[in-house]
Structure 1
Amino acid sequence: MSLDSPEPTHTAFSTNASSSRRQTTAGIVIIGAGMAGSRFAIELARAQQQSSQEKGAAHLPITLISKEPQVGYNRIMLSPVLSGESVFEETYLYELAEYEQLGITVLAGTSVDAVETNQQCVKLSDGQTLDYTELVLATGSQARVIPFANHDAKGVHVFREIADVQVLTEYARQAKKGLVIGGGVLGLEAACALASQGADMTVVHVDSHVLNQQLDMPAAHLLQAELFSRSVKLEVLANTECITVNDQHEVNGLLLKDGRTLPADFIVMAVGVIPNTTLAQQSGLEVNRGILVDNFMHTSCPHVYAIGECIELDGELFGMVAPVNQQVDTLVSVLKESSVSSSRRLSSDSRITEYKNHWRPFISKPLSLKLKVSGIAAFSAGQIAFDDIEMAQIERVVYQQTSLDHYLCLYIKASKLIGTVLYGDVSESGFYSQLITDGSDISSIKEDLIFGEAYCDVEKIEAAEPESAVPSDAHLIGEAS
């Protein structure tokens, strides 16, 4: 996609016409066509198609509703689009032909004004009302904006959608001076991308080092040195007082609590995301920070489910790809047997009794992270931050090759690998991540573990049995983006 034009060449099709008529064949309605909603629609349709071929059963139609005109693109890939390494068309998860071939009705550029759970219908912004048999909320999240004074000034942006990419790219092309508030994954990716396009970039971070939730200090120092070499400046331990503006209410700097003012033509806030729960809350669903669900993605309302960045399970939010994909797989297992003959009055208890043996519960697992900046290899998995009491029980095994800027640290507790950080060479990331996820007993390979999988007899290790089928409040290593 050319960033000079706001019109995407990959446009979504739509079967909705402005009308007040009721469509009674919407079947399984999915609100939100981001990474979670679009993948769920495709995977459910594929599963139903296979089931129809094997059993000859007729299944409910699938309707996917997208507020954005662009349907099913990968937000994670906006960083290489911003840096100029790829084009927007390459971010789409599926071709429109796939939706068509699978019989999925896509309503693009359409928002949902209300959900009436008692009547099992949704009201659209174009006047349509759609009946649903099952409803899936995949409403995602929105970029968090810290309400500093003048946070609404011209020149304050987030990095969330293709429209943001277009605006920020123009600043870079004009060699403007920019500040990124937030030294997490998204902030660093934005800063590096804009610097590579010609902007004068500085990252402003409140903690002692960037990626402080993902990297330990030695790895962070290597990363920070690399950022400097890419003309990305850093201000750490920097607390913002307010955004400064000129007489036209345009950004001209950032005032810090230590009295310094950092000049800027534009500011990017990259300080996390907030689950989109407004529609769910207005519909009477139970909501905390996110939409509350169980391990099978049920909400508090019968026939209503939720997946992705909008949900909360056992106090945990989900902003990374792996758990969202697992949630999609779980919900496919729950809804793939939904058929035209299914009664809308079938209770959740009856459905559970009939199908529960085929359902796959979602179990939260330790997450891993890779930094998506060209030429920078950084990885972390599991738990890497500990208080003093916890640290007394942790064994750190470190390997560092200074000449190559390679660093590896393993965190071991009670004969289990519970965390790892790699920088420079991340070729063993999958091996270490799997040991952490499986809770494997590494006693037999502990002495060779630092050298990687080729030096370990993996047949000797055993995965620990989970204590419960219900996930605990696992520490989330990663940043919602």
Structure 2
Amino acid sequence: MCPDDSIRPQAAACPIDHLVIVGNGMAGQRLVEGLVRRDGAPRRITLIGEEPCPAYNRILLSPLLAGEMEREALTLRDADWYAAHGVELVLGERVEVIDRQARRVITDAGRELGYDRLVLATGSRPAMPPIPGLELDGVHAFRDLDDAAALVDCSRARGDGRAVVIGGGLLGLEAAEGLRKRGMRVSVVQRDARLMNRQLDATAAGLLEDELASRGLEIITGGRLDRLEADDDGHVTGARLADGRLLPADCLVVAIGIAPNAELGRTAGLEVDRAVVVDAHLTSSDPAIHALGECCQFEGSTYGLVEPIWRQVEVLTAHLAGESSDGYVEAPTATKLKVSGVSLYAFGSIEADDDHEVLTYHDPDHGDYRRLLLRDGRLEGAVLYGDTAAGPWYFEQSLAGRDLSACRQALLFGASDATPLLDDPTSTTPNPTMKSPLQEEAA
């Protein structure tokens, strides 16, 4: 029998007897898939999900709402897959108690499960503003299958009715466009002065706003929600803004961000700040308990995008399988918007400081915009709108910290023009007859 090595900060010396994963979302599912392929995987894995269905791709909720995809396409694995891989799948139950001393969890159905290691992958919930009226019928979040189904039902019942979306970030815009495609007249209220203010600069945000407005969305920036109004039956009828405007609403969607589901860890006595605090191996203050994804916090950061969460999964998979690893480290992530016909790509710094060199190309007639921020020849941030083909290459150069000084004059053209100059700085730009974006902008 393997000795209890749970107090060790590194990977286990031999397979874990029973691993319990709380949360059957995308992070928990990816962890299971990584473990069942490992020789050193836990001997027994139990996966507990609060929703009644197996894990599905939440990223695809937006095209599902827009009617561009069927529900079945979102399922990651069906129940037969878990059985075939020896994974016990418990659905429709919520873990309410973690007994750390006895190393067991208790669900709301009274089920008790012992564990040798426990992973919290409980995700997050929609953040809600402190305003009156959120309890009204017709007020929705946009976070899971039930939310998407409720919004589809609303669009069908109300026909060409009015919808208001609170939040002009990624999720809010995707929800707004989905409801528009379902035939509703949609207003988007963004508190900041521009859409997607965390990812886009003012020019790119303006192009995005113009495009969405041309499709029929009403975009209200600098708008602050004051309260919701209702009819005598308790159904929402409108959103009252702080400036007094009333936006009629047959349904209202709140998409202003997320809050980590950390209550289970907090009540169990784990170290919790905004989320469950973990180290580089995703281990909580209890060596037998790990946290992963949107419910965890590492070096002050919490998570809402899949790229860092997938890297966390790789680290934790190796750790639980007894493999050594350097642990999780923070790295930049790129942002893309999942709205048909709109291409944008952004990463890194958005606002330029005094030490940044700014390269910009803007072609309003074709709706193309590129803005690169460099410091000492190295790319620290980029915003691309319209033609985003070069985005992944820019991101790769930024992650590598590569000095791009040798190809500065061709950098805005992307990899095909910049790479030859990087390989041979004495060469000329491959397209000598083509004006540079900087020249075009000045013309």
The normalised TM-score by structure 2 is: 0.89
1:197 counterpart (179, 182, 190) = 182
Structure 1 residue 257 displacement after superposition: 1.4
Partner Cα distance (1:252, 1:361) in 2: 50
Q: 1:47 to 1:26 in 2, by over 3 A?
A: closer
Residues 374-389 of structure 1: matches in 2 within 5 Å? 374-386=340-352
1:115 counterpart (85, 98, 105) = 98
Contact 1:205 1:238 in 2 (8 A): yes
Structure 1 residue 402 displacement after superposition: 2.3
Partner Cα distance (1:133, 1:102) in 2: 20
Partner Cα distance (1:432, 1:457) in 2: 11
SS at match of 1:404: coil
Q: 1:129 to 1:453 in 2, by over 3 A?
A: same
Aligned partner of 2:23 in structure 1 is: 32
Partner Cα distance (1:420, 1:460) in 2: 19
Aligned partner of 1:180 in structure 2 is: 165
Contact 1:172 1:195 in 2 (8 A): no
SS at match of 1:47: coil
Partner Cα distance (2:318, 2:163) in 1: 46
Q: Which amino acid aligns with 1:263?
A: P
Contact 1:26 1:130 in 2 (8 A): no
Partner Cα distance (1:252, 1:457) in 2: 56
- The one-character-per-residue Cα deviations of 1:10-60 (angstroms, maximum 9, x if unpaired) are xxxxxxxxxxxxxxx970100001010011011111123xx58xxxxxx42
Contact 2:406 2:421 in 1 (8 A): no
Residues 81-480 of structure 1: matches in 2 within 5 Å? 81-173=64-156, 174-337=159-322, 358-386=324-352, 391-457=353-419, 460=422
Q: Which amino acid aligns with 2:22?
A: I
Partner Cα distance (1:71, 1:360) in 2: 32
Contact 2:347 2:381 in 1 (8 A): yes
Q: Which amino acid aligns with 1:35?
A: M
Partner Cα distance (1:292, 1:45) in 2: 26
Q: Which amino acid aligns with 2:23?
A: G
Q: Which amino acid aligns with 2:272?
A: V
Contact 2:54 2:78 in 1 (8 A): no
Partner Cα distance (1:175, 1:47) in 2: 52
Structure 1 residue 458 displacement after superposition: 7.1
Q: Which amino acid aligns with 2:365?
A: S
Q: Which amino acid aligns with 1:450?
A: L
Partner Cα distance (1:457, 1:266) in 2: 50
Partner Cα distance (1:82, 1:224) in 2: 21
Partner Cα distance (1:443, 1:142) in 2: 44
Partner Cα distance (2:284, 2:78) in 1: 30
Superposition misfits of 4+ residues, deviation over 3 angstroms: 458-461
Q: Which amino acid aligns with 1:46?
A: R
SS at match of 1:122: strand
Partner Cα distance (1:335, 1:412) in 2: 40
- The one-character-per-residue Cα deviations of 1:90-140 (angstroms, maximum 9, x if unpaired) are 112234333222211111112112111111111122222111111100000
Partner Cα distance (1:158, 1:425) in 2: 32
- The one-character-per-residue Cα deviations of 1:330-370 (angstroms, maximum 9, x if unpaired) are 00110113xxxxxxxxxxxxxxxxx6xx2241111111100
Partner Cα distance (2:164, 2:17) in 1: 46
- The one-character-per-residue Cα deviations of 1:443-468 (angstroms, maximum 9, x if unpaired) are 2222221111111237948xxxxxxx
Partner Cα distance (1:68, 1:322) in 2: 24
Q: 1:165 to 1:26 in 2, by over 3 A?
A: farther
Partner Cα distance (2:114, 2:227) in 1: 48
Contact 1:154 1:251 in 2 (8 A): yes
Partner Cα distance (2:58, 2:161) in 1: 24
Unpaired runs of 5+ in structure 1? 1-24, 53-58, 338-354, 462-481
SS at match of 2:286: coil
Partner Cα distance (1:95, 1:408) in 2: 42
- The one-character-per-residue Cα deviations of 1:281-332 (angstroms, maximum 9, x if unpaired) are 1111000001000111010002110100001111111110110000000001
Q: Which amino acid aligns with 2:346?
A: S
Identical aligned residues as a percent = 36
Q: 1:458 to 1:308 in 2, by over 3 A?
A: farther
Aligned partner of 1:346 in structure 2 is: none
Q: Which amino acid aligns with 1:379?
A: Y
Structure 1 residue 71 displacement after superposition: 1.6
Q: Which amino acid aligns with 1:237?
A: G
Partner Cα distance (2:93, 2:241) in 1: 41
Unpaired runs of 5+ in structure 2? 1-15, 424-443
Partner Cα distance (1:158, 1:304) in 2: 30
SS at match of 2:373: strand
Report how many residues are paired.
406
